[in-house]
Amino acid sequence: MNAASRTRAAKVVQYALLTLGALMIVFPILYALGLSLMSGGEAAAYPPHIIPQHFQLKNFVSAVSEAPLGRFMLNSFIVSVIVTLAQLVTASLAAYAFAFMEFPFKKIIFLVFLSTMMIPGESTLIPNYLTIRSWHWINTYQGLTVPFMATAFGTFLLRQFFLTLPHDLFDAARIDGCGRLRFLWSIALPMARPALGTLGVYAFINTWNQYLWPLLITNSTSMRTVQIGIGMLQFQDATTWNVVMAGVVIILLPSLLTLVLGQKQLVKGLTSGAVKG
């Protein structure tokens, strides 16, 4: 076998493996979509069907009426937007101070910020629950959002970005009488748009996908987020799985949409080295 045909063979193997692998990976998501369109009987058929024989769109209607998915989606959306915006603001301000300003104990404060990444959510779960309860923040948007309004990861990401901006820019703006906040708002932040995008997409997906915290601190239907709400659909009976899958598809869509629109930002966020697990 000569070199050319060997590279060709390698290419074919590469294609075959990747196509097969990629199809296997997305299969569960496509399968959920298929099930969500089946009738109850077909979903529970054995041997299992993969492609629906008749499309039945009313499962989506049933899912939305069986559990108030609309309300849950709204709650998740409100919580995710608030957390994302808050993280962008708090991280920008802190990153700006670390990047451009001099103050006593800068190094120690920086290390303290860094150390918060070492403290896992598991170990702060119980104290935070007790705190939120004693503040009467159970079943409130404050309880769902305030604990996540700061981000060490985002602060370092933005600080790194600010450090790449020429310091002369800052000095020149100061001499022209530009206030610090104005400099941050009209010069530094517009230039940091790629880093802000990364942080924004990352924060949104993480908050949208949250499970344990909203499970613990909400118990009223009106305050539950969509990830908790999906549990209200009927799992017991095999013939209701088409409706359950319709619910799953509904709550998968925002995540997948964010992925398609923000893939570049997400990848950048993940690869920037210091992702909190």
Considering only residues 65 to 124 of the shown chain, the ones binding another protein according to CB under 8 A are 89-91, 93-94, 96-97, 101-104, 106, 109, 112-124
Q: Please, what is the minimum distance in Å from the beta carbon of residue 141 to another protein?
A: 16
Residues 166-195 that bind another protein (CB under 8 A): 180
Residues 6+ apart with CB under 8 A from 34: 49, 50, 51, 52
Q: Please, what is the minimum distance in Å from the beta carbon of residue 106 to another protein?
A: 8
User: Angle, to 10 degrees, between the axis of helix 69-100 and the axis of helix 193-208?
Assistant: 140
161 binds another protein (CB under 8 A): no
Residues 185-244 that bind another protein (CB under 8 A): 205, 208-209, 211-212, 216, 227-228, 230-231, 235, 238, 241, 244
Nearer to another protein, 221 or 227 (CB): 227
Residue with tokens 């104290």: 127
Write the burial class of residue 12 (CB in 10 Å: 0-12 exposed, 13-18 middle, 19+ buried). Answer: exposed
Instruction: Report which residue type is found at 274.
Output: A
- The correct pick among 9, 19, 164, 194 for binding another protein (CB under 8 A) is 19
Nearer to another protein, 57 or 123 (CB): 123
CA–CA distance, 106 with 97 (Å, rounded to integer): 9
Residues 34-63 that bind another protein (CB under 8 A): 35, 44-48, 50
- The correct pick among 8, 9, 21, 58 for binding another protein (CB under 8 A) is 21
- Are the CB atoms for 96 and 182 separated by under 8 Å? no
CA–CA distance, 83 with 90 (Å, rounded to integer): 10
Q: Is 165 helix (H, G, I), strand (E, B) or coil?
A: coil
Residue with tokens 């077909």: 42
Nearer to another protein, 19 or 164 (CB): 19
Q: Please, what is the minimum distance in Å from the beta carbon of residue 65 to another protein?
A: 19
Site residue total, another protein (CB under 8 A): 98
